């Protein structure tokens, strides 16, 4: 290992056995020394959950493409915290999360374990990127996603940016890669899910509910991630974790008496 080799922490939320994380490892491996710390089970929709009430387990995985890999019993955010404190004993140069099986554009960022892992890294001062491919299938073709992951990771490693930098990158499903238009810097689309719980009865006659919902984009803008993906671009949204609504703060300071 050369002394100036970059340490690349790889994690995800679909779990260490998901094809997407192997695609991501393939993509970034030419850029530095890869260390994998990922959940031992699927953690989709875990948001920024951390594990408080039960202790965490961490086990090294043998024969993982010849690289150092660990599986963790906790959430994606736990993985990043444990990687920093108990495995690397230093900050990695970059953290990449994914490649998620399914979209994390627009409001999905709030629910996404993939993006929460990346955000946790950015909070800790590690430049970080979450990658998501709009194909849910575990048999999906990651060729284009790998190219995008390599390009964006290389660019971020070479850039002089704040250590708190965080990107949300989504890759469209395109039948003919010649139609791919490139990577577009976007804002988060104003979108939401309209819930429709699926109500059923168990064998004992008691009700239970499955969460389902329909995605609804309410944003007509052509500068959003949803627009970009619908128009054969990969979307790149720079993300912040200061959630202060500054415009409203200013308005309230003028008009609210408390």
Q: Which of residues 31-90 bind a copy of itself (CB under 8 A)?
A: 42, 44-53, 55-58, 77-78, 81-82, 84-86
Could you tell me the smallest distance in angstroms from the CB atom of residue 22 to a copy of itself? 22
Encoding tokens for residue 161? 């940016």
Cα–Cα distance, 119 to 125 (Å, whole number) = 10
Comparing CB distances to a copy of itself, the nearer of 93 and 124 is: 124
Comparing CB distances to a copy of itself, the nearer of 5 and 41 is: 41
Could you tell me the smallest distance in angstroms from the CB atom of residue 140 to a copy of itself? 19
Structure letter (DSSP) for residue 136: -
Neighbouring CB atoms inside 10 A of 40's CB total: 18
User: Please, are residues 69 and 61 in contact by the beta-carbon 8 Å criterion?
Assistant: yes
Could you tell me the smallest distance in angstroms from the CB atom of residue 199 to a copy of itself? 7
Of these, 104, 116, 132, 235, which contacts a copy of itself (CB under 8 A)? 116
CA distances 181 to 174, 178, 233, Å, are 10, 8, 5
Q: What does the per-residue mask of binding to a copy of itself show for 124-163, with x meaning CB under 8 A?
A: x--------------------------xx--x---x-x--
Comparing CB distances to a copy of itself, the nearer of 5 and 57 is: 57
> What residues form the annotated binding site for a divalent metal cation?
13-14, 44, 100
Chain centre to alpha carbon of residue 23:
14
User: Number of residues in contact with a copy of itself, rule: CB under 8 A?
Assistant: 75
Using CB under 8 A as the binding rule, the residues of this chain from 11 to 30 that contact a copy of itself are none
> What residues form the annotated binding site?
13-14, 44, 100
Cα–Cα distance, 63 to 61 (Å, whole number) = 7
Beta bridge partners of 128: 95, 166
Structure letter (DSSP) for residue 84: I
Comparing CB distances to a copy of itself, the nearer of 63 and 159 is: 159
Cα–Cα distance, 150 to 41 (Å, whole number) = 26
Using CB under 8 A as the binding rule, the residues of this chain from 232 to 251 that contact a copy of itself are 236-246, 248-249
Question: Distance from first CA to last CA of the chain, Å, rounded?
Answer: 60
Instruction: Enumerate residues 6+ apart whose C-beta is below 8 A from 233.
Output: 172, 180, 181, 182, 183, 184
Cα–Cα distance, 95 to 129 (Å, whole number) = 7
Comparing CB distances to a copy of itself, the nearer of 64 and 233 is: 233
Comparing CB distances to a copy of itself, the nearer of 4 and 111 is: 111
Using CB under 8 A as the binding rule, the residues of this chain from 174 to 233 that contact a copy of itself are 182-188, 190, 192, 195-197, 199-200, 206-211
């Amino acid at each position: 290992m050369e002394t100036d080799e970059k340490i690349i922490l790889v994690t995800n939320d679909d779990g260490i056995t998901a094809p997407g994380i192997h695609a991501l490892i393939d993509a970034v491996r030419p850029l530095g020394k890869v260390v994998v710390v990922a959940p031992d089970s699927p953690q989709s929709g875990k948001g920024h959950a951390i594990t408080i009430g039960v202790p965490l387990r961490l086990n090294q995985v043998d024969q993982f493409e010849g690289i150092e890999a660990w599986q963790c019993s906790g959430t994606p955010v736990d993985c990043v915290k444990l990687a920093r404190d108990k495995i690397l004993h230093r900050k990695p140069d970059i953290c990449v999360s994914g490649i998620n099986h399914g979209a994390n554009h627009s409001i999905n960022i709030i629910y996404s374990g993939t993006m929460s892992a990346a955000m946790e890294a950015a909070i800790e001062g590690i430049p970080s990127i979450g990658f998501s491919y709009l194909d849910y299938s575990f048999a999906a073709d990651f060729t284009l996603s790998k190219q995008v992951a390599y390009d964006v990771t290389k660019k971020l490693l070479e850039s002089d940016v704040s250590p708190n930098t965080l990107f949300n990158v989504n890759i469209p499903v395109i039948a003919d890669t010649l139609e791919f238009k490139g990577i577009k810097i976007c804002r988060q689309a104003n979108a939401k899910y309209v819930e429709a719980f699926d109500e059923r009865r168990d064998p004992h006659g008691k009700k239970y509910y499955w969460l389902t919902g329909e995605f609804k984009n309410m944003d007509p803008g052509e500068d959003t991630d949803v627009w970009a993906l619908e128009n054969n671009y990969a979307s790149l949204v720079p993300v912040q974790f200061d959630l202060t609504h500054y415009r409203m703060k200013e308005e309230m300071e003028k008009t609210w008496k408390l």
